[in-house]
Amino acid sequence: MSNKHNDRSAAPLNVAVTREIFVPHPIQEVFDFVTAENVLPKILTGYGMVPGVAFTSDVSGPWDRPGSHRVVHLTDGSTVNEGLTHYDRPSYFAYRVSDPSFALKHLMTQARGEFWFQPADGGTKVKWTYTFQAKNGLAKLPLLLFVKSQWKGYMDRCLANVIKYFTA
C-alpha cells in the first residue's frame, strides 16, 4: 500500500508496529465501522497487560472532523486522550493519543495511530500502524519491549475483532 502521509517511524525516539488484515467487505463499510465514534469497546477488547476500552466521553465534535477529541476510558479505570488528526474517507484515518493515566505515562509522550484502507479483490485491505514516541532515550528500550510483547498482540486481537464483526 502506498503511504501518501509522512512516515514518522524513523524518528530516533519512535517505536512503531504495523499490522495488516483483509476484510471480506467493501471499503466504505469497513472504513465506516473502524472509524465510527462508538466502535472502540467493540474492537479494542484488551490483550495481556493492555486493558480494553470501556467507553469514551467528552467528545468535542463530530468524529469525522479532524480536531475533534475525546477521553478514552479503559477497563482498568485509567484514561487516555485521543484526538482525530486525519479523516479521508474511505482511504485514511489517523489519530493522536496523549496523557495516559496508566504506566505508559512513564515511557511515552504521545502515540499516533494510522489506518489505511485499500480496495482488494473481494474486500478491503486494512493496514494499521501505531507509533509511540518514547519519553527519552532511556525509556525507548522498555517501550520497545512492551510494544513487541504486548501491543503487537493487542493490535492483532483488535483487528481479529474487526474481521469477526464482518464475518459473524
pLDDT per residue as tens digits for the range 76-112: 999 999 999 999 999 999 999 999 998 899 999 999 9
| Sheet with strand 79-88: strands edge to edge | 14-23, 123-134, 108-120, 92-98, 79-88, 69-74, 53-57
Bridge partners of 87, per DSSP, are 93
Contact 100, 71 (CB under 8 A): no
Q: What angle do CA 29, 33, 34 make, to 5 degrees?
A: 120
Name the burial class of residue 62, with classes exposed (0-12), middle (13-18) and buried (19+) by CB atoms within 10 angstroms of its CB.
Answer: exposed
Write down the pLDDT at residue 5. Answer: 53
Predicted TM-score (pTM) of this structure:
0.91
